């Protein structure tokens, strides 16, 4: 069945270092992939979503590239900021109508000074 895998539960970085959070997926269809961010005591918010063409989505310095050959949608940022500390979910919409969205287990990013 369809699934999303995030291999890191916790990533701790020093401010200014690059960020890479891993996401791989399995899907029967050609899915849309998403990154959602959830700050402490807040609801999840969309950070990025994949495009159907080869464009690379970017937002708030984050970007992700959908690689169909490796079924991956890793999240990257060149320089981490303290305010980036949050829970990051990779998600996949599946089903013929895209009504079902499955989330990975989430990766907690902790950025230290």
Binding-site ranges for other proteins (CB under 8 A): 31-32, 34, 36, 42-46, 49, 89, 91-93, 97-106
Nearer to other proteins, 62 or 106 (CB): 106
Distance in Å, CB of 17 to other proteins, minimum: 25
Distance in Å, CB of 18 to other proteins, minimum: 25
Distance in Å, CB of 87 to other proteins, minimum: 9
Cβ atoms of residues 64 and 80 within 8 Å: no
Nearer to other proteins, 81 or 110 (CB): 110
How does DSSP assign 27-81, residue by residue? -SS--EEEEEEE-TTS--EEEEE--SSS---EETTEEE--BTTTTB--EEESS--
Nearer to other proteins, 42 or 58 (CB): 42
Distance in Å, CB of 10 to other proteins, minimum: 11
Instruction: Provide φ and ψ at 106, rounded to 5°.
Output: 95, 150
Please classify residue 7 by burial: count the beta carbons closer than 10 Å to its beta carbon, then call 0-12 exposed, 13-18 middle and 19+ buried: exposed
Nearer to other proteins, 70 or 97 (CB): 97
């Amino acid at each position: 069945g369809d699934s999303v895998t995030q291999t890191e539960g916790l990533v701790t970085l020093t401010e200014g270092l690059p960020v890479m959070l891993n996401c791989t997926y399995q899907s029967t269809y050609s899915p849309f992939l998403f990154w959602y961010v959830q700050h402490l005591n807040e609801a999840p918010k969309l950070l990025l979503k994949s495009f159907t063409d080869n464009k690379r989505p970017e937002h708030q310095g984050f970007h992700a590239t959908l690689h169909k050959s490796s079924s991956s949608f890793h999240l990257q940022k060149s320089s981490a900021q303290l305010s980036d500390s949050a829970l990051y979910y990779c998600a996949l919409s599946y089903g013929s109508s895209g009504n079902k969205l499955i989330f990975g287990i989430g990766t907690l990013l902790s950025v230290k000074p």
